[in-house]
């Protein structure tokens, strides 16, 4: 089960500003997290079955983006 803070992170990511500077400032002001902590938490949520059950379209889209940026291991 996701906490209210976890849901807030997912809701924020779904509607976050696209500009990096604007997004980082919004993370600090709206969520009270540092950008590093936010992305750590978001990454954990991307692997959470509960998060997938709550926000399937968002989680799948973010998983695809994350997986596309990982270089293959030979």
Q: Tell whether 69 is covered by a domain.
A: no
Q: Over 90: is that where the pLDDT of 73 sits? A: no
Judge residue 23's burial from the number of C-beta atoms within 10 Å of its C-beta, 0-12 exposed, 13-18 middle, 19 or more buried. middle
Quote the CA–CA distance of 48 and 71 in Å, as a whole number. Answer: 22
The predicted-structure confidence for 6-45, as pLDDT tens digits, reads as follows: 999 999 999 998 887 899 999 999 999 999 999 999 999 9
- Alpha carbons within 13 angstroms on the beta-carbon side of residue 25 total 6
Quote the CA–CA distance of 69 and 67 in Å, as a whole number. Answer: 5
Q: Tell whether 50 is covered by a domain.
A: yes
More confident residue, 32 or 74: 32
More confident residue, 11 or 69: 11
Q: Tell whether 42 is covered by a domain.
A: yes
Look-up of token digits 């976050």: 16
Q: Tell whether 56 is covered by a domain.
A: yes
């Amino acid at each position: 089960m996701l906490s209210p803070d976890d849901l807030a992170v997912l809701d924020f990511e779904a509607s976050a500003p696209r500009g990096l500077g604007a997004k980082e400032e919004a993370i600090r002001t709206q969520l009270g997290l540092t950008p590093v902590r936010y992305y750590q938490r978001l990454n954990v949520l991307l692997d959470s079955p509960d998060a997938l059950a709550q926000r399937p379209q968002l989680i799948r889209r973010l998983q695809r983006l994350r997986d596309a940026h990982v270089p293959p291991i030979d």
